Amino acid sequence: MKTTYLLQSLAFVAANALLTTGNHDADQSHASPFWGALDASPDLGAAEPHAHERRNTRAKCSLWFMEGHQAGIPRDAIQERNFTLEKRVMTLPGGDMTEFYNSELTNPEINPIIWEVQTRDGIEDANTADIATFNDVAVSYGTRQLCGCTVLLIVSKRGVYAAHYWENIVFDPDQYYIDKYGAADKLFERFVIKGLTEGVRTGRPTPQVSLKNYKDRIIDDSIRGFLMIPRRSANDVEDGYRNRWNQIKNTVGDLIPQLKPALDEQGQETNDKWREYKYDAIEVDDRRHTTTPAGKVLIKYDPDHDKKKKISIWMEDSLIYDNDW
């Protein structure tokens, strides 16, 4: 089969947002993602399209599906937007979650968070992470067509850190990446843990903003952590990437003490500031990606929802978090 993999669209919406590609001292007064220059960190390098061996129960969530490769949206296409909110009430789902997602995730004001990165070896895609502060403009992050990858959200009344990690790079790495960068443990350390602690700079703009460097923008007493994870691995093992998800949570907890994991004797999370949502990963070309809420996540912030500030998070057909003040 030579079907081209349809790249997941993990997108960012920020009304009146300025996307900065400047330095650490860039203006922090506006509510927009910070594409700041980070300390030296690993370079993913050129990743050339290659054919996958179909050895799994399902195809892994990956940049390429079989022989095709669909690149991310060029980051140069993103411009500063001047947008005035016409409705002072957050748009919420009615009775049809699929229609709601389709409307939100195809909004013409959406800015992508999966984007092409210019490196010394050319243009490529990579794991991504961004941070945005909540002020007086609406902010929204969303993704669709998750089919094995993992999404991390760290949310407070002050802002959100959102990250997306490819299954075939860091959870069940293809031999291509192992041959190029080393064993699976090294890949995970290089492209997830160091992304959280140092950031990952593979060119311009920065693919992964460091949580450690910018956590103070979002930390407060309301902070929460969310993981959207596949129920089964590509090899059909239930909770198959548990050790990796625990590594993510432990690393976040080292950086943000309120999110330090606490496990009971059965290994279940007891820190109520963490929540996991397990989704059933389906094939990338499954029509349910367009006809149902499957594989979708959306977080919305509105600064003036019925004269209150409001944050809501949906994962597939479930309202996971809802807070107004």
Residue 187: its pLDDT value, please? Answer: 95
Question: Would residue 5 count as lying in a domain?
Answer: no
Question: Would residue 1 count as lying in a domain?
Answer: no
- Pair 270, 263: CB distance under 8 Å: yes
Residue 145: its pLDDT value, please? Answer: 81
Q: In this predicted model, which residue has the larger pLDDT, 55 or 151?
A: 151
3-state DSSP: the chain helix, strand, coil percent, rounded to 5? 20, 30, 50
| 158-195 b/e (C-beta count within 10 Å ≥ 16 → b) | ebbbbbbbbbbbbbbbbebbeeebeeeeebbbbbbbbb
Confidence of residue 70 (pLDDT cuts 50, 70, 90): very low
Cα–Cα distance, 96 to 101 (Å, whole number)? 9
The boundaries of the domain holding residue 134 are: 11-324
Confidence of residue 51 (pLDDT cuts 50, 70, 90): very low
Alpha carbons within 13 angstroms on the beta-carbon side of residue 38 total 29
Is it the case that residue 320 has pLDDT exceeding 80?
Answer: yes
Instruction: Kindly report, residue by residue over 177-204, the tens digit of the pLDDT.
Output: 899 889 999 999 999 999 999 998 876 6
| Close Cβ partners of 290 (under 8 Å, ≥ 6 residues apart) | 102
Residue 114: its pLDDT value, please? Answer: 57
Residue 148: its pLDDT value, please? Answer: 93
Which of the residue ranges 166-170, 255-259, 273-277 would you say has the lowest mean pLDDT? 166-170
Instruction: Return mean pLDDT, the chain.
Output: 75
Residue 245: its pLDDT value, please? Answer: 98
Tokens of 18: 């300025």
Cα–Cα distance, 320 to 299 (Å, whole number)? 10
Instruction: Kindly report, residue by residue over 79-121, the tens digit of the pLDDT.
Output: 322 223 333 346 777 778 888 887 787 776 654 555 556 667 6
Mean pLDDT of 257-267: 88
Q: In this predicted model, which residue has the larger pLDDT, 12 or 83?
A: 12
Q: What is the DSSP letter of 66?
A: T
Place of tokens 């691995």: 233
Confidence of residue 269 (pLDDT cuts 50, 70, 90): confident
Cα–Cα distance, 268 to 220 (Å, whole number)? 25
Question: Would residue 128 count as lying in a domain?
Answer: yes
Place of tokens 């060029």: 74
Question: Would residue 153 count as lying in a domain?
Answer: yes
Residue 248, amino acid: I
Mean pLDDT of 129-151: 89
Confidence of residue 160 (pLDDT cuts 50, 70, 90): very high
Is it the case that residue 308 has pLDDT exceeding 80?
Answer: yes
Residue from 155, 143, 133, 128 nearest 274 by CA:
155
Tokens of 306: 């019925």
pTM: 0.75
Is it the case that residue 154 has pLDDT exceeding 90?
Answer: yes
Residue 268: its pLDDT value, please? Answer: 82
| Close Cβ partners of 122 (under 8 Å, ≥ 6 residues apart) | 46
Residue 274: its pLDDT value, please? Answer: 97
For the chain, how many structural domains are there in total?
A: 1
Residue 63: its pLDDT value, please? Answer: 56
| H or E element at residue 107 | none
> DSSP letter string over 180-192?
HH-SHHHHHIIII
Question: Would residue 56 count as lying in a domain?
Answer: yes
Which of the residue ranges 116-125, 277-286, 294-303 would you say has the lowest mean pLDDT? 116-125
Q: For residue 317, how far is the Cα from the chain centroid?
A: 18
| H or E element at residue 315 | strand 308-315
Question: Would residue 3 count as lying in a domain?
Answer: no
- Pair 297, 307: CB distance under 8 Å: no
Question: Would residue 229 count as lying in a domain?
Answer: yes
Question: Would residue 4 count as lying in a domain?
Answer: no
